Amino acid sequence: MDSKFLKSMNISLDLALEAREVIRGETGQEIPGVRVDKETYDHASVTTVHIEDHNAQVIMGKPVGKYITIEAPVIRENNQQAHREVTQVLAEQLKKLFDLPMELNILVVGLGNWNATPDALGPRVVDQCLVTRHLYNYAPHELQGGMRPVSAMAPGVLGITGIETAEIVRGVVEKTRPSLIIAIDSLAARSAERIATTIQLADTGINPGSGIGNKRSGINQETMGIKVLAIGVPTVTHAAIIAQDAIEKYTQSIGGQPGDASMAIKKVLEPFGGNLTVTPKEIDTLIEDTAQIIAGGINMAMHPGIGPDDYAYYLH
Amino acid sequence: MDSKFLKSMNISLDLALEAREVIRGETGQEIPGVRVDKETYDHASVTTVHIEDHNAQVIMGKPVGKYITIEAPVIRENNQQAHREVTQVLAEQLKKLFDLPMELNILVVGLGNWNATPDALGPRVVDQCLVTRHLYNYAPHELQGGMRPVSAMAPGVLGITGIETAEIVRGVVEKTRPSLIIAIDSLAARSAERIATTIQLADTGINPGSGIGNKRSGINQETMGIKVLAIGVPTVTHAAIIAQDAIEKYTQSIGGQPGDASMAIKKVLEPFGGNLTVTPKEIDTLIEDTAQIIAGGINMAMHPGIGPDDYAYYLH
Amino acid sequence: MDSKFLKSMNISLDLALEAREVIRGETGQEIPGVRVDKETYDHASVTTVHIEDHNAQVIMGKPVGKYITIEAPVIRENNQQAHREVTQVLAEQLKKLFDLPMELNILVVGLGNWNATPDALGPRVVDQCLVTRHLYNYAPHELQGGMRPVSAMAPGVLGITGIETAEIVRGVVEKTRPSLIIAIDSLAARSAERIATTIQLADTGINPGSGIGNKRSGINQETMGIKVLAIGVPTVTHAAIIAQDAIEKYTQSIGGQPGDASMAIKKVLEPFGGNLTVTPKEIDTLIEDTAQIIAGGINMAMHPGIGPDDYAYYLH
Amino acid sequence: MDSKFLKSMNISLDLALEAREVIRGETGQEIPGVRVDKETYDHASVTTVHIEDHNAQVIMGKPVGKYITIEAPVIRENNQQAHREVTQVLAEQLKKLFDLPMELNILVVGLGNWNATPDALGPRVVDQCLVTRHLYNYAPHELQGGMRPVSAMAPGVLGITGIETAEIVRGVVEKTRPSLIIAIDSLAARSAERIATTIQLADTGINPGSGIGNKRSGINQETMGIKVLAIGVPTVTHAAIIAQDAIEKYTQSIGGQPGDASMAIKKVLEPFGGNLTVTPKEIDTLIEDTAQIIAGGINMAMHPGIGPDDYAYYLH
């Protein structure tokens, strides 16, 4: 599968890691202006793709910035201990991406449609976030040292609200004046193996064309006036890509040279507007588990001084 | 039960009809500055309480304005035909309350907490509203004549977002510039018989202290700068009132004179912050049915030129 | 796509209509022992495939019997009027499949996993069925003439209960002695266009290998001792089939002869046990709408003498 | 409040602890044939009421047997650490109540209505139980030593199925031949403080009249032929009791002697069939948290040799 195919199918890869793989697969070498770091944990590996200059931005189709990918196949297993470790890895990586005084406001934005399971990750995370903005001023002084004023919202999608998501968020930003937005979104992956096993953090926010709702408007420094961290998890993959993978594998198996299959695939997918996505049957459970990990990681990173036990005593 | 008891328990009656009954029960005559109209339908009766001057406002504890109460016990029955009739009555009454050119924007606001069944009415209505603002400019001209640009949002509650609900709504109002807000809320009734059988429309919006989330901030002309219609449905009743009713009935039965029972009731309800509400066990179904009626009534009133069949062909 | 491919991928087509299409595509002529009728309605077409002898049974991979397919693309539109028409068509077709005295018990069985949206159709239908078995003896005599004693259950899936579904149903059948079972199940379709637009009725019950939970045990005359009608709706399609369709379309487009692609496709789908299904993102709404139509059709067919208004007055 | 009042209101107290309190309040001394033990833990206290003879059975209105009550107000707090401790206490107490060889089958039965939040505890526990009956024979030998073959079902309520719950369970028992049933049910408490803070284990099973669905049929040794452990959690309280408490408190406050208030209370509650229950608004969260604790406790007690990490590797 090459970038020409993706372009002809109008698919943009949400994960920087996958975008890089495709391009490297074509050129056989690292992309100029792209730098990659790796870390390994017990149940997770972390790869950071740095897009460092304008040239790399054009090739990758993603803004200059840092894209941290946590790969943790263990999320799909019912292993609570391992889930806690992934939560901690997420919290650590999140903390690296911002450096804010404790007293500054943070706004968590859960993007997506709460009525469509594969797109409901963002709203589910919001439901589990520890919001403190309304309590902050009443909290004991010694507690304030370890917690931040956090607010959270799930603005919905255009089809439910009739309003561009970015407009709603901007309205709330102007009223509540946060210093940072953390936006959570469902993504589409190139590889179905990544569904509910990969978490991407990006310091570039949400940019048009990303997300499975695929007309998400930009929620980034430019549109919001403040820094936006994006947390994304693939919850679907494109049927077009599975079809293309199969064609390539088959053509190879008969010793042929794969040509341009985009027209053929478009015809097969036409009845669905070319936009059919693949979701595992167990998606309900996967969204549940992933939302818990993401919310846990955000809570830990935001409120370093609050242990699980403090939640109850001080904040409910 | 008298107004002194309600004051001592810090309960304000959400339904104007009930507030009037209590005061009239005490004075034995109509309240000066309050005027009442009645209409009767097959499956519903409609009572309009007009609060006409400042004096009446003070006595009733509700702003000057119109309070239309639709009483339809049939909502609690599984009778779809009758539900459709109540929906039509609601649409007619709604239309009386506003007189707007077709092209002006309307914002539907579903108040309440989507994670607490008795408080989830507003968000459930939003999910079923026919939002058109994002499609309006692309719709065929002949259709625009019969539909309005409508947007909708469920801002959540302070405990979930950390932000005053009114702040969120105001932010969105400033961005999208609607000409009218329709706000839907769950209410507390004096009488448990009213749960999911009574709908109140008020042209005065949401005023502090109303709603079962009971610290709802004001969403009204004053705070929003535009007219706000409120649609409320009782989904709970106060345990304190049931207790007081029982005390009165008992005291009468033994030939006594009921004294002030508020201290005794407070002691019984103390373990729950004095704020225990009563909800029927079948509340899930009741919320579902009521949300469908409210959303149906709003859709009919907003888009008079669109029949059920047009929804599919033009708007999906 | 031919039957050899399906066999090598271990896919059995749940819809008789699709199984027939594949085989006829290969032989170019009607299958001996298979007979087909057609009817057309405003918003639906009805095709009945009769499998009439053992030979046809072997070729089709489905037991001798009647398979009625209602094709109604309008189910995916938000058109309530058309949904009511499809409901009526379903009720009519259902009535053709059984001829039982009014007083005999009927058991509705909603197969599938209520925690996995694409597999939750059966349980959702059960929630909306008009069950009357416990009321039947108390109902007025004139009403009994128009209604049947109906009970309903959602036995769950092996992974949730640890018990073979058929064992649970058989246990309940032995206790309650119904004369007929109506079993509702989610199916997998060859064509994604059929998701939530096609309803199949079969007088042969549920047979091993059908259903998206794909290890459904048989629920049929043989295992239950009574007649079993199956109602199935495709809610997913096989990723393998989309891949194969794309390979064929592509090979044709380059003027080639498609060979056996099953190995290549298996490799692409391997990470998911070869068993990846495709579900549209809006599956939540589709299940909701389809469940309402199926339950409505069953209610109409079971209780011919009860109009929508009677439900409320007599039966709640 | 005395037992005469309860009888006249047709209320039977589900918790043995509360039944004993009422009777002792009247007689001022321990009931003959009733013996009580206490244990104290960090976040929970455990009281065991032994009903030891027929005389005590008649007075208490509950069969001879052991009733273990775990009181843990911490369940209502968002304190995960404390929830884990309560889970462990529950597991320990459960283990005391049965003494079965590892290889014998156990059936978990989640009573109640999954569509009515306060009655949905049982079905929610079933969704989180580790069922192993279908895997047991394939599990590695060393694992079998530490786990039991467990199956689980949520039979629904009469109004949804049209079948007596006990009939459904008996049908499944006859097919699957378990050696023990663990039945989970929502209860009604005398005191609203007990909602979602108290867990009762009883080795006498479910007896007619208990549970908030209050026509639950008996699921006990007599009807099932095997031992039945019941786990119950109060999720509602009776409005009648709150009313009576208020009347008593008030009468005392004016120095009077409380007489029989049952007629007065009946009149107040009449519009609801005298059967109004009180549920806190946050019931959705409370059911969620309680179900997790109950399921966790059952899993620990059933499968002593399986740590959280094994779940994933061996059993999914």
Between A93 and D76, the more confident residue is: A93
Give pLDDT, residue C150. 95
Average pLDDT over residues D172-197: 94
| Nearest residue in D to A127, CA atom | D285
Residue A168 has pLDDT above 70, yes or no: yes
Residue C277 has pLDDT above 60, yes or no: yes
- Nearest by CB to D175, from C131, C135, C170: name it: C170
Interface of B with A (CB under 8 A): 114-115, 126-127, 131-135, 149-156, 158-164, 167-168, 170-176
Instruction: Specify burial of residue D6 (Cβ count, 10 A radius: 0-12, 13-18, 19+).
Output: buried
Residues of A in contact with D84 (CB under 8 A): none
Angle at B15 between CA B14 and CA B16, to 5 degrees: 115
Q: Over pLDDT 70: what percentage of chain A?
A: 93
Q: How confident is the model at residue D138 (pLDDT cuts 50, 70, 90)?
A: confident
Q: Which of D74, D75, D79 to mutate to test the interface with A (most CBs of A within 10 A)?
A: D79
Give pLDDT, residue A313. 42
**Gap between the Cα atoms of A243 and C242, Å rounded:** 7
Cβ density class B285-304: b for 16+ within 10 Å, e for less: ebbebbbbbbbbbbbbbbbe
Amino acid making up residue A57: Q
Q: Indicate yes or no: CB of A127 within 8 angstroms of CB of B155.
A: no
Rank B247-261, B298-312, D174-188 by mean pLDDT and report only the highest: D174-188
**Gap between the Cα atoms of D275 and D260, Å rounded:** 19
> How far off is chain D from B286, nearest CA to CA, in Å?
10
- Mean pLDDT rounded to a whole number for chain A: 89
Q: Which pLDDT tens digit goes with each residue over B170-191?
A: 999 999 999 999 999 999 999 8
What's the ipTM?
A: 0.90
pTM (2 d.p.): 0.90
- Nearest by CB to B162, from A134, A155, A160: name it: A134
Q: Which pLDDT tens digit goes with each residue over D202-214?
A: 999 998 765 555 4
Q: Which pLDDT tens digit goes with each residue over A15-38?
A: 999 999 999 988 889 899 999 999
Residue found by looking up tokens 């005027």 in the block: B35
In what helix (H) or strand (E) does residue B68 lie, and over which residues does it extend?
strand B65-71
Q: What DSSP state is assigned to residue A120?
A: -
Amino acid making up residue B298: I
Residues of B in contact with D277 (CB under 8 A): 278, 280-281
Q: How confident is the model at residue A103 (pLDDT cuts 50, 70, 90)?
A: confident
Cβ density class C64-89: b for 16+ within 10 Å, e for less: bbbbbbbbbebbbbbbeebbebbbbb
CB count within 10 Å of CB A22 equals 16
Give pLDDT, residue D238. 86
Residues in chain C: 316
Say which range, A121-135, A204-218, C89-103, C249-263, has the weakest mean pLDDT.
A204-218
**Exposure of C234 in the CB half-sphere (CA atoms within 13 A):** 29
Give pLDDT, residue A213. 53
**Gap between the Cα atoms of B239 and B254, Å rounded:** 23
- Best CA proximity match to C118, nearest among C212, C182, C231: C212
Based on DSSP, count helices (H) and strands (E) in chain B, helices before strands. 13, 9
Q: Indicate yes or no: CB of A168 within 8 angstroms of CB of B153.
A: yes
> How far off is chain C from B312, nearest CA to CA, in Å?
5
- Nearest by CB to B316, from C77, C82, C309: name it: C77
Pairing type for strands C65-71 and C198-202 reads: antiparallel
Give pLDDT, residue B10. 84
Residues of A in contact with B167 (CB under 8 A): 172, 175-176
> How far off is chain D from C304, nearest CA to CA, in Å?
19
**Gap between the Cα atoms of B281 and B276, Å rounded:** 15
Q: Structural domains in chain A?
A: 3-314 (3.40.50.1450)
Say which range, A231-245, C58-72, C297-311, D239-253, has the weakest mean pLDDT.
C297-311
Residues of A in contact with B172 (CB under 8 A): 163, 167-168, 171-172
Residues of D in contact with A308 (CB under 8 A): 79-81
Give pLDDT, residue D315. 40
D309 token code pair:
């990490």
Angle at D302 between CA D300 and CA D304, to 5 degrees: 55
Q: How confident is the model at residue A274 (pLDDT cuts 50, 70, 90)?
A: low
Q: Indicate yes or no: CB of D162 within 8 angstroms of CB of C133.
A: yes
- Nearest by CB to D284, from B115, B245, B252: name it: B115
Give pLDDT, residue B279. 82
Give pLDDT, residue B28. 87
Q: Which pLDDT tens digit goes with each residue over B97-119?
A: 988 888 899 999 999 999 888 89
Q: How confident is the model at residue B313 (pLDDT cuts 50, 70, 90)?
A: very low
Average pLDDT over residues A102-126: 93
Phi-psi region of D23 (alpha: psi -120 to 50; beta: other; left: phi over 0): alpha
D4 token code pair:
């005469």
Q: Where are the alpha helices (DSSP H) in chain B?
A: 3-9, 16-27, 54-60, 80-97, 121-128, 141-144, 158-161, 165-176, 221-224, 239-253, 262-269, 283-302, 308-315
* Cα torsion through A258, A260, A264, A267, rounded to 10: 150
Average pLDDT over residues A35-52: 96
